[in-house]
Structure 1
Amino acid sequence: MKIIIFDDDPTGSQTVYGCPLLLNWDEQTLEAAFTKSSPLIFILANTRSLSSALAVKKTREICSSIKKFFLRQGYSKDDYFYISRGDSTLRGHGVLEPAILAEELGPFHATFHIPAFLEGGRTTVNGIHYLNGIPVHNTDFGRDNIFGFSTSDLAKWIEEKSFGKIQAENILHVEIKQLDMASKNKDCFNSLLSFFSKLENNVSVVVDAELPHHLETLARAIKVVSKEKRFLFRTAASFIKSLSELPPNPKDIADLVSLKSKNNQFAYKPGLIMVGSYMKLATDQLEILLNDNSCEGLEIPVGKLADIFALEDYQEKILELEEILLSKIDDILDIKKVPVLYTTREEMKFSSSSKRMNFGLELAEFMAILVGKIKNKFGYIISKGGITTQLLLQKGLNFNQVDLKGQILPGLSIVTSNSDLYHLPVVTFPGNLGNEKTLLESFRLMESNS
């Protein structure tokens, strides 16, 4: 049974490989994706970058395209698993998006909330969600200016994000103890099956997970019961790996690094690093990266860009700024260093979250189009931040879909296009991933055979 994943940014495929990531959902693109042998199809909806109203509109548009495609092909929507993939630190439209999917693709007997991302230190224990042992609402992610929240208790979080429509007392809970026992004992596994088979009326279910076998046991039970029940999922990346049951990737890290593009002399072209994420972790990673002598930073002046975008006719000023930055990138390449294109680190203040989101999209599109103008100069790109990466792939490189090759580090994917025009692998680096040295580590890996 194929698994269709609605990904709210382009990094949710960070635990799997060998599948298409769609940036477009027209019939031709969908048909090509559904004929691939992979059990996984990711649709890069990028809804985390949108307001609630626009996220609803985008989700309904994608569902409409899929349903029309199913009708023309004679497929049944009941023959697929559907996952709303969201942030493992609980940012995004984590309750709204599965609710819209339920309206469009339902009815479902239950919606499972499984935000554990074990590869990144995100676990759920006793219904409480943690980041490296810290309740996630006590981290920078819980204090996010757009998607912040007040609790790490997932049942209460669902109540908060549904504005009371889903009451915490009505939310069910699959505990670690249940999953541990079900993984070791047939009777306990059957008890878990019985519990799932009684779910009705799209009830919300919170799932604990601390170790891989918890999610593997859950996935095994889901597959048995799915013969008689339809379930929807809001999950981070780890459950996707468990549900898909992919074997280990035959490509190792050296294989993935060697995907880099070469010049006419068969030497690897230089890389480019983009850092759009404004999270403190991204800033810490950038600071350590820029201490490496083989890199040279180039700041995109966010305040100046905001002033330009506020003008009635700003195209001429944008082109002037582009010319300045492109010239500086050439200067960096001339001294045989890797350009690190990054946005001003201080987050700007806006009068509303919708204005903040709109500017974030304008900024990411500016970076994407800038890089797109010189894409043939580079052998690879490391793109830090979900919105930055989505716009790079879509607007800068003009891809309709990319192919996921695997991970160079846990949670760090590398994708390529099947375009005949040019070959340029992109490392998709989530804003919230790793420690302060992970960006430097990924750069050194990509340069390891240059």
Structure 2
Amino acid sequence: MAERIKVLVLDDDPTGSQTVHSCPLLLRWDPGSLRQALLHPSPLLFLLANTRALDPQAAEQRVRRICHALKPALAEAQAAGLMDRWLIVSRGDSTLRGHFPLELEVIDQELGPFASTLLVPAFLPGGRTTKEGMHLLHGEPVHATAFAQDRLFGFSSSFLPAWVEEKTAGQTLAASVRQISCSDLEAAPEALRERLAALPPASIACVDAERPEQLTALGEAIWACERQGQRFALQSAASLINGLVPLPPQPLDASGLAGLRRGPALPGLVLVGSHVPLADAQLTTLLAEPACIGIELDVRKVARVVFGPERHRLLASLEQSWRQQIETVISEGHTPVVFTSRGELHCSSPAERRELGVELAQLMARLAGALAPQLGYVISKGGITTHTLLESGLKAPWVELQGQLFAGLSLVLTPEGLPVITFPGNLGDASSLRQAWTLMQQP
């Protein structure tokens, strides 16, 4: 009988499932929801923690709550014979933004101990590779891109050992960080397993990756070590998940996925909350389509309301005005494209920036949620925007991942059958958002 495995992925935003298919994405972790999710036949279970949207204290609390809920659920599932082994992955951003090492530390405290940590940020379909310890985006060191300038999660080096030293505030020195090279991954399986087994206790190892076969070899070696009692803490982008759980080709091609549009006559809705330069370029390209009508949510106006008197009354008034604009666009037979005004607004503190970001995401989620019954699909650009849409706007306890429209761009179905495209902020080129809209417009 084949070994029954389960890979549990704590996803720091809802786009980390962008290389897999046919598995549940859980937005709640109460005992009943976890029990039901663990019954799913897929070897994968994603828990959408959305911690990248939170401050460090709130992120720590959320990861701890998830781990507290998981521990008895996993024990119950194993006792019932539903699985033989499980691994847990902290899925992080392939451009190195997020709460590292905080989330791994909490996972180790609650579900460990782990022998050592493997850091695997490669996302191969998106051009994120790692070579000789340098993490690259389409061949360019990622610290030289706009992603490294993130005001909350910025960094100064693409050399992963130096990045670890920076993110741990010097508690882990770059010189102590081990490196697993591409040649290590291409060695004989036993040699790779021995390389992993020889890592010092409590060490961090950065893993190179340029080809899927290398991550498949790594996944097999991780499972081999697991069977011998050596457990690893795993911090990775999406591509390692395919190495841990080899999957057959996705069951539907792009045309079939687009055919999941709910009701061919029902209109679509596009949300763009991401504000990285790539998202700006994609928005500009989409709005050049005559059938797409932009509705701008003025961030400065929202900020004045959020941080001023009569917050609730004035915010409700703004929301009503924007909802009427969306309904007018739909009634005229066009696709409304709801987007936050471009550029980053200066805030007095990181806490104020997060509060404003959360309020904007909630506003977009409420607008979409109110219109959901009359929509054929939603395209949601940006991780925080998408998680808030699914959890608060559509109130989905879970969604089912169907597959990808194209590399890295996933389509999920809510329990009510509404297709939602979960579009990462950092994915694609200037035409990708328009391409996704074109596919979903097919009857």
After TM superposition, the score normalised by the length of structure 2 is 0.96
SS in 2 for 1:80: strand
Q: In the alignment, what sits opposite 1:7?
A: 11
Q: How far is 1:338 from its partner?
A: 0.3
Q: How far is 1:217 from its partner?
A: 1.2
| 1:22-421 matched pairs, under 5 angstroms | 22-71=26-75, 75=79, 79-180=85-186, 182=187, 188-228=188-228, 229-262=230-263, 267-418=264-415
Cα deviation code 1:137-173 (max 9, x no counterpart): 0100011111100100101101110111112111111
Q: How far is 1:247 from its partner?
A: 0.9
SS in 2 for 1:141: helix
- In 1, Cα distance between the equivalents of 2:234 and 2:79? 21
- In 1, Cα distance between the equivalents of 2:84 and 2:262? 42
SS in 2 for 1:17: coil
- In the alignment, is the contact (CA less than 8 A) between 1:260 and 1:268 conserved in 2? no
- In 2, Cα distance between the equivalents of 1:293 and 1:29? 43
Q: How far is 1:197 from its partner?
A: 2.0
- In 1, Cα distance between the equivalents of 2:84 and 2:433? 41
- In 2, Cα distance between the equivalents of 1:354 and 1:325? 26
Corresponding pairs, count:
436
Cα deviation code 1:199-229 (max 9, x no counterpart): 3423111000011111111112112121121
- In the alignment, is the contact (CA less than 8 A) between 2:117 and 2:235 conserved in 1? yes
Q: Which amino acid aligns with 2:69?
A: S
Alignment RMSD (CA, Å): 1.5
Q: How far is 1:192 from its partner?
A: 1.4
SS in 2 for 1:373: helix
- In 2, Cα distance between the equivalents of 1:194 and 1:318? 59
Q: In the alignment, what sits opposite 1:185?
A: none
**Residue in structure 1 matching 2:421, options 413, 422, 427:** 427
Q: How far is 1:189 from its partner?
A: 2.6
SS in 2 for 1:226: helix
- In 2, Cα distance between the equivalents of 1:316 and 1:445? 39
- In 2, Cα distance between the equivalents of 1:221 and 1:408? 31
- In 2, Cα distance between the equivalents of 1:2 and 1:268? 39
- In the alignment, is the contact (CA less than 8 A) between 1:135 and 1:152 conserved in 2? yes
- In the alignment, is the contact (CA less than 8 A) between 1:98 and 1:232 conserved in 2? yes
- In 2, Cα distance between the equivalents of 1:179 and 1:314? 55
**Residue in structure 1 matching 2:435, options 431, 441, 449:** 441
Where structure 2 has 5 or more consecutive residues not aligned to the other structure, the ranges are: none
- In 1, Cα distance between the equivalents of 2:292 and 2:74? 48
Whether 1:19 aligns to 2:23 is: yes
- In the alignment, is the contact (CA less than 8 A) between 1:39 and 1:244 conserved in 2? yes
- In 2, Cα distance between the equivalents of 1:124 and 1:200? 22
Tell which deviates more after alignment, 301-310 or 404-413.
301-310
After TM superposition, the score normalised by the length of structure 1 is 0.94
- In 2, Cα distance between the equivalents of 1:335 and 1:320? 23
Where structure 1 has 5 or more consecutive residues not aligned to the other structure, the ranges are: 183-187
- In the alignment, is the contact (CA less than 8 A) between 1:107 and 1:202 conserved in 2? no
- In the alignment, is the contact (CA less than 8 A) between 2:78 and 2:84 conserved in 1? no
Percent identical across equivalent pairs?
42
- In the alignment, is the contact (CA less than 8 A) between 1:78 and 1:230 conserved in 2? no
- In 2, Cα distance between the equivalents of 1:200 and 1:70? 28
Q: Which amino acid aligns with 1:411?
A: G
